[in-house]
């Protein structure tokens, strides 16, 4: 079973996991050379357990949700940054599941690593839906690989409910957290949420902290915990490719609180940036996948917050 899991893992998750990295290391002394591990498939589509119509499309270390209904498909995030054929490959994966039209493509937020590659969906007739801040930001950026949301499909702060073929997808906005354009996508009937980057599943936060508001993210996580759902689909696979639960949200919320408490005395002593960042550590999380890589990002963000008020 463990073997199967390792094969299935995206490279990014493997690199993040010291336990699995250990499991992959050749046993010494080996009686016979082990067969080389097959590379994980770059693309995989899996049905979310407990649902009959909700799927996760993964491309490398990124993933998105799509929902199949009698009246068509609601897809999210093309996840094709640096992958010129990624959008079409995603459409092709949907076509393996259903021949119903792709009616909507919903952006989780405006970052290119999640939303580049939407042209194939647009060509297939999908309406492109995003929060107003994503629309405004993308208009300014004018990225050659990222399709602008449709002006008449923009989601205002009050949110929006998509209804298609008896399926409900609730899009809600909660201000800044990771980016200022994040939509929570909740499927009340399937008890699933799709939330990208604000709440990593089982891994230490890292580059996502570049566009991140820690205190508002704590409030965001509290709001997400108060919502009714069982399964969290993250924008990057959790360890072993697993999905998340409310326990993962509580863990990330506590991690942010612990990080603030660790940085405050350093910041208040006037040690931000350099000295404070060097002295900052969270040993409680040192065995969490991604700790070593993510710690400098968290130190910089926390120094900014408590040492500068940013």
77 binds Zn ion (CB under 5 A): no
Can you tell me which of 190, 197, 248, 251 binds Zn ion, judged by CB under 5 A? 197
**Tally of CA atoms within 13 A in the half-sphere of 251 that contains its CB:** 15
Rounded least distance, CB 217 to Zn ion, Å: 12
Q: Which is nearer to Zn ion, 53 or 108 (CB)?
A: 108
Rounded least distance, CB 256 to Zn ion, Å: 16
Burial environment of residue 172 by CB neighbours within 10 A (0 to 12, 13 to 18, 19 or more): buried
Query: Whose CA is closest to 218, among 182, 272, 176?
Result: 176
Residues of this chain, 137-166, that bind Zn ion according to CB under 5 A: none
CA distances from 182 to 39, 146, 174, 185, 220 (A): 32, 17, 8, 9, 10
Angle of helix 214-226 relative to helix 246-268, nearest 10 degrees, comes to 160
CA distances from 290 to 219, 239, 294, 298 (A): 24, 10, 6, 11
Rounded least distance, CB 271 to Zn ion, Å: 29
Contact region with Zn ion (CB under 5 A), list: 12-20, 40-48, 93-101, 194-202? 194-202
Which residues, other chains included, contact 169 with Cβ-Cβ below 8 Å and sequence gap of 6+?
Answer: 67, 74, 106, 161, 162, 163, 185, 186, 187
Q: Which is nearer to Zn ion, 197 or 277 (CB)?
A: 197
Contact region with Zn ion (CB under 5 A), list: 27-35, 133-141, 147-155, 193-201? 193-201
Rounded least distance, CB 62 to Zn ion, Å: 10
Contact region with Zn ion (CB under 5 A), list: 67-75, 76-84, 129-137, 196-204? 196-204
Rounded least distance, CB 242 to Zn ion, Å: 20
Rounded least distance, CB 90 to Zn ion, Å: 18
Number of amino acids touching Zn ion (CB under 5 A): 2
Q: Which is nearer to Zn ion, 149 or 307 (CB)?
A: 149
**Does residue 135 sit in helix, strand or coil?**
helix
Q: Which is nearer to Zn ion, 72 or 208 (CB)?
A: 208
Rounded least distance, CB 111 to Zn ion, Å: 3
Q: Which is nearer to Zn ion, 111 or 133 (CB)?
A: 111
Rounded least distance, CB 197 to Zn ion, Å: 4
**Does residue 134 sit in helix, strand or coil?**
helix
Residues of this chain, 94-113, that bind Zn ion according to CB under 5 A: 111
**Chain residue at closest Cβ approach to Zn ion:** 111
Tell me the DSSP string of 33-91. Answer: PPPPPPPPPSEEEEEPTT-SSEEEEEETTEEEEEEEETTEEEEE----TT-TTHHHHHH
Question: Which residues in this chain contact Zn ion in the complex, by CB under 5 A?
Answer: 111, 197
């Amino acid at each position: 079973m463990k073997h199967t899991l390792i094969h299935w893992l995206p490279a990014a998750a493997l690199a993040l996991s010291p336990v699995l990295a250990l499991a992959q290391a050749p046993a010494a002394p080996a009686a016979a050379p082990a067969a080389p591990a097959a590379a994980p498939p770059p693309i995989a589509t899996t049905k979310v357990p407990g649902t009959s119509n909700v799927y996760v499309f993964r491309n490398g270390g990124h993933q998105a949700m799509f929902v199949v209904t009698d009246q068509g498909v609601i897809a999210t995030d093309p996840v094709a940054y640096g992958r010129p054929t990624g959008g079409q490959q995603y459409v092709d994966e949907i076509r393996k599941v259903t021949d119903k039209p792709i009616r909507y493509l919903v952006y989780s937020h405006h970052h290119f690593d999640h939303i580049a590659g939407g042209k194939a969906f647009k060509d297939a007739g999908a309406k492109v839906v995003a929060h107003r801040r994503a629309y405004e930001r993308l208009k300014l950026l004018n990225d050659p690989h990222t399709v602008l949301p449709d002006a008449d499909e923009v989601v205002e702060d009050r949110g929006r409910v998509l209804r298609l073929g008896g399926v409900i997808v609730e899009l809600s906005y909660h201000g800044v957290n990771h980016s200022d354009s994040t939509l929570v996508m909740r499927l009340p009937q399937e008890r699933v949420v799709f939330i990208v980057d604000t709440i990593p599943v089982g891994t230490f936060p890292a580059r996502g902290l570049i566009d991140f508001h820690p205190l508002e993210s704590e409030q965001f996580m509290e709001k997400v915990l108060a919502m009714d759902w069982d399964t969290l689909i993250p924008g990057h696979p959790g360890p072993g490719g697993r999905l998340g639960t409310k326990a993962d949200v509580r863990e990330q919320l506590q991690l942010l609180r612990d990080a603030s408490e660790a940085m405050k005395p350093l910041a208040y002593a006037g040690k931000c940036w350099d000295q404070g960042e060097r002295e900052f550590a969270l040993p409680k999380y040192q065995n969490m996948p991604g700790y070593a890589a993510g710690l400098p990002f968290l130190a910089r963000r926390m120094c900014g917050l408590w040492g500068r008020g940013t």
